[in-house]
Amino acid sequence: MSVQEFGRRDSAPPRLVFPTLKSETLRTFISTRGYLFNPFGKTKAARRKVPLTAKACTLLARRLEKVKGDFVFPGRATDKPIIKVNRAHVGTLARINRIRLEASQSPIPALRLYDLRHTWATRGATAGIDVVTLAAMLGHSRIQMVLRYAHPTEEHQFQAMRKLEAFRRA
């Protein structure tokens, strides 16, 4: 599942499901409501309903078909959830790149999962989501934090100026 689909922190996805929530209950909940409730977080703003895109709902539902037990992201050798995934993708990326090199394909460059959170915020701003809503969706208690995440492109800035000009002419 892509962090880009719902802007979560890299340590958050495994804890989307708390121990009392069975997979079948989660499947029904996602398909009928289109969000997850995150009971964890450093602040009240971080403990919230996380809206999901249709693609994220589909990916989670597909994951739930494969999972055995109570957790969507169980640990490899335990019944407990993975607590953090900060570097979990490093090994997967290395395996993928070995396969790509054997097939004479160029490797996928290294990335930090957290960078996808910035990508999500930037795309949200570009799509027209206001800063207050972006802050709430990212789990920030202050809108100033959004400014660290959303990076408007040059094209977005030019489009904004054209909107302002159209508004002034109207």
How confident is the prediction for the chain on average, in pLDDT? 78
- Model confidence at 52, pLDDT cuts 50, 70, 90, reads confident
Q: Write down the pLDDT at residue 17.
A: 45
Nearest in space to 62 (alpha carbons), one of 18, 26, 109, 87: 26
Q: Where are the domains of the chain?
A: 3-169
CA 158 to chain CA mean position, Å: 28
Q: What is the pTM of this model?
A: 0.65
Q: Which stretches within 20-112 are classed as H helix?
A: 23-33, 54-66, 88-102
pLDDT at 19: 37
pLDDT in tens, 101-144: 999 999 988 877 778 889 999 999 999 899 999 999 988 888 99
Rounded to whole angstroms, the Cα distance separating 162 from 120 reads: 24
Q: Which of 3-12, 46-55, 88-97 has the lowest mean pLDDT?
A: 3-12
Q: Which amino acid is at 65?
A: E
Identify the residue whose tokens are 């290395």. Answer: 94
Query: How much is the pLDDT for 18?
Result: 37
CATH of 3-169, one of 1.20.5, 1.20.1630, 1.10.3470, 1.10.443: 1.10.443
